[in-house]
Amino acid sequence: MLQFFTSGESHGPQLTAFIEGLPAGLELDLVEIQKEMQRRKIGSGSGARQKMETDTVEIVSGVRQGKTLGSPITLVIKNKDFANWTEVMSASSTDTDPELKKVHNPRPGHADLAGALKYGFTDLRNVLERASARETTARVAAGAVFKQFLKALGVEVASYTLQIGSVQSDKAGNFEEVKQAEEKNPSTRALSTEAHAAMEALIAETRLKQDTLGGVIEVWVVGLPVGLGSYVQWNRKMDGQLAQALMSIQSVKAVEIGEGIAATQKHGSEVHDPILYKEGFRRPSNNAGGLEGGVSNGEPLIVRVYHKPIATLYNPLPSVDFETKEVAPASIERSDICVIPRAGVIAESMTAFVLAKNVLEKFGGDCMEDLKSNLENYKKRVG
């Protein structure tokens, strides 16, 4: 079974991604992995941290001479900022002052309060160092590997920005449009130029107001074989698996498959995609977003990911000192204003993981050659 985990604190020495279960013989393009890391760093509304870090990925296990070995893959991203935090983040108890950079006032909307109560901390830094979305650098590094695995099987993943705050962009009509958005408007990744300009203006205005924004990302996947996931057991349904993986991204509060939300206000006759047969089964529309009964149906997978506005406010909300219980403004950590433009690559990474896992469950194989021949045989059967 394909699995991946991450470790590392926001200001610790490094982030690590550990992947177990990928077959041997997958060619990995290291430059491509680095490009994905760069995509996570760039976008309007980002904070200073993105400028400081290079997010260089080092592969320290599981890959040799450009190909996977079938053994666990470990990816390491060193935190440059650690140089400024060595004392605060030291693993040793002897060379640190516990009051240094201690965080006292929990931020509404962050994990600070619930996390400190749960784990019995008085320094909220012990929570935020791991709850921080700096962790997503490791997800994106792993996701870059999953995307290359899928690409080797003819499956491609991309995303664009559908909404930032109240500004909505045009919806993509096909995969080419999805891919073009980033090239056309790299700082927002919106499809239409008008929406891009309005989003830029809204982010600038929000920065001046010392407030934050959320938004919506749409992920598309093409080239998926029919039959990934299953309806036979609740935890094998791929819509459920995608929702879990995508909801686990920091600040994501809703996940929608196809026309999920709009469909709730329509009649069934307007929503469900007719079935035709012309040299194979065809669907003239794709309101289902490529999944029926938790199973891929051969149409493009379309998933929307909804992020709430960032919790850290430079004009902070009321809070209390965690120890004294005195009224105090919420703490401020260096923060982004809006992460939507650069969060698409994180959603792509988590989507790619779920798909890669389901591909491996269905087609198996210890090496890419076996996997590919299993897939080809299956494709011959289903036509």
Ligand X SMILES: Cc1cc2nc3c(=O)[nH]c(=O)nc-3n(C[C@H](O)[C@H](O)[C@H](O)COP(=O)(O)O)c2cc1C
Give the residue with the Cβ less far from ligand X, 70 or 115: 115
Which stretches of the chain bind ligand X, using CB under 6 A? 47, 109-111, 131-133, 136, 249-251, 308, 310-312, 335-336, 339, 343, 346
Least separation in angstroms between residue 251's CB and ligand X is 4
Q: Pairing mode, if any, of strands 281-282 and 276-277?
A: antiparallel
CB 303 within 8 A of CB 242: yes
Give the residue with the Cβ less far from ligand X, 181 or 249: 249
Give the residue with the Cβ less far from ligand X, 191 or 311: 311
Least separation in angstroms between residue 305's CB and ligand X is 10
Give the residue with the Cβ less far from ligand X, 167 or 311: 311
Least separation in angstroms between residue 307's CB and ligand X is 7
CB 14 within 8 A of CB 6: no
* CA-angle at 113, arms to 109 and 119, nearest 5°: 135
Least separation in angstroms between residue 228's CB and ligand X is 26
- Phi/psi for 363 (5° steps) reads -110, -15
Give the residue with the Cβ less far from ligand X, 335 or 349: 335
Least separation in angstroms between residue 80's CB and ligand X is 17
Least separation in angstroms between residue 61's CB and ligand X is 26
